[in-house]
Structure 1
Amino acid sequence: MSHTPRPIIGVPCLMGIAHFAQNDAWFPKIYGNVIDYLRAIEAAGGAPLLIHLTTNDEVLDRLYQQIDGLLLAGGEDIDPASYGAPRHPRLGDPDPLQDNVEIKLTRRALRDGKPILAICRGIQLLNVARGGTLYQDIPSDIPGALNHNESTDRQDMRYLAHPILIDPDSRLADLLGATEAMVNTLHHQALRDIAPALRVTARAPDGVIEAVEAESSAWVVGVQCHPEMLWDSTDLRWARVFQAFVQAARG
């Protein structure tokens, strides 16, 4: 019996510093990403490939050619220049290089029909790459909104802070087997104007968008929560999302 190779899932990197040099500004920076994304992909049958941030289009093209799917992970705020808006006073510290690399990869994957799973910052990047905009600070821009940073405040990435209401006619509802789920929440930004190629498939009780999917039949799913922290113990249903993503990349 022939063995089907694991599909390669590209995961763009974040910039950081080595844990043993946290207070040493002189120490060289490193590229990497949160281990939980990589574990989730591996457990679902994929092989994660970290894509470092580069201005060299030839290198980026070579890396892109190797991947079968793209996972857009969480991270820093996106530079509002990417969607034509001025900076909000409560904006974090954007990394324009990360924005540029991820937008290029996302647009190319969408064009080529490669599956995309976009998580937290990822769903925001997906929307921006397709022409959408963001609320730059939920507490300032959406009066009466829930605390969408509650899991952060509790310093517990697995804390289920609020429910989301899921469109019954969506890929996400089908995979979770439910039209409502409790989720963790670690963000202060959210989708505002939705890109034409996307449709909203879940919201929080305050109306904040929690999930989107492609209008077409392409496997493109974006979620505002962090399922990479939930799939293995807190809510096992999220494992199905990673499995379906990897299976789509295999196909």
Structure 2
Amino acid sequence: MIIDPRQLQDRPKVLIVLHQETSTPGRVGQELIKRGFALDIRRPRFGDLLPHTLDDHEGAVIFGGPMSANDTDAFVHRETDWIDVPLREKKPFLGICLGAQMMARNLGARVTSHDDGLVEIGYYDLKPTETGNELMDWPTKVYQWHREGFELPSGAELLARGNAYPNQAMRYGPAAYGIQFHPELTYHMMVRWTTRAAPRMELPGARSRRDHFAGRYVFDPAVKAWLDAFLDHWIGHADDRAALTDAAQ
């Protein structure tokens, strides 16, 4: 089903935070639109402001980017501090890769590289914890593109583990999640990433470009199924959330 985003201007909004001029929310954005949400896309790196409250939004997603959560750029600090807003208001929040690392830093945990300099670029094993298994089914392999990982913050629950980077998914409070992997990846995004950042596939532990595309054919259906289940759990559908809001008034 194709939905014109212009038809969703009066629908409940999800705040989308991106970090490059050409970045898109990929499949996460597509699935949110299918669920009836409008996307409020902002790029603080290029001057966009973030709201002081999420009263006008049903949730927020901070996506990945080539920068580090440890960088001293002002926008990195602003975004990291801003995560106080969804945490305080207990609104659905999702951090993907860099966004998850910012969430960890906000909660007092460290973001570090691997002791042996290993990266995860391509498809890698994912192992749910007991808590994660109780939440939903998880794919056995997920797509990664990172050189750093997050420590588990105090009070957070670990939902999935990896090998080189042990903390792959976490939950904090009732509605805040951080994931190290990239379920938003579309085929076109994979083409763009593996073309523009081809030298990164020479780093220790990275998969070859051929393996990225071969892996997508095998592993992506399970990742897509996971994303559908996760979004149902995390934020649901716009009509359902509007009904909850009306009932609370």
SS at match of 1:212: strand
Corresponding position of 2:15: 10
Unaligned runs of 5+ in 2: 1-9, 187-218, 245-249
Displacement, 1:207?
5.1
- Give runs of aligned pairs for residues 163-182 of structure 1, distance below 5 A: 163-170=125-132, 173-178=133-138, 181-182=140-141
| Structure 1: segments with no counterpart, 5+ residues | 18-31, 81-93, 152-160
- Aligned-residue offset at 1:63: 7.3
Aligned position for 2:205: none
- One-letter amino acid of the counterpart of residue 131, structure 2: D
- Which letter does structure 2 place at the counterpart of 1:112? E
- In 1, are the aligned partners of 2:69 and 2:105 still within 8 Å (CA)? no
1:227 aligns with 2:190: no
> Please, which of 163, 168, 171 is the counterpart of residue 205 of structure 1?
163
Q: What is the deviation of 1:44?
A: 3.5
What corresponds to 2:212 in structure 1? Answer: none
> Is the helix fraction higher in 1 or 2?
2
Alignment match, 1:74? 64
Question: 1:89: which partner in 2?
Answer: none
State the TM-score, normalized to the length of structure 2: 0.67
Q: 1:87 maps to what in 2?
A: none
Sequence identity of aligned pairs in percent? 18
CA distance in 2, matches of 1:117, 1:206: 23
The answer to whether the 8 Å contact 1:201/1:211 transfers is yes
Q: Is the 8 A contact 2:159 2:170 kept in 1?
A: yes
* Residue of 113, 120, 124 corresponding to 1:162: 124
User: Once the two structures are superposed, what CA deviation does each residue of 1:217-243 show, in whole Å capped at 9, x if it has no partner?
Assistant: x11121111111279845322211122
SS of residue paired to 1:16: coil
Aligned to 1:37: 28
- Cα offset, 1:248, TM superposition: 8.4
Deviation at 1:174, TM superposition (A): 4.1
> Cα deviation per residue 1:61-98 (whole Å; 9 max; x = unaligned)?
36744212111111133352xxxxxxxxxxxxx47243
Partner of 2:145, secondary structure, is coil
Structure 1 distance, partners of 2:220, 2:37, is: 16
Judging changes above 3 Å, is the alpha-carbon distance between structure 1 residues 63 and 33 closer, same or farther for their aligned structure 2 residues? farther
Q: What is the one-letter code of the residue matched to 2:51?
A: D
Q: 1:245 maps to what in 2? A: 234
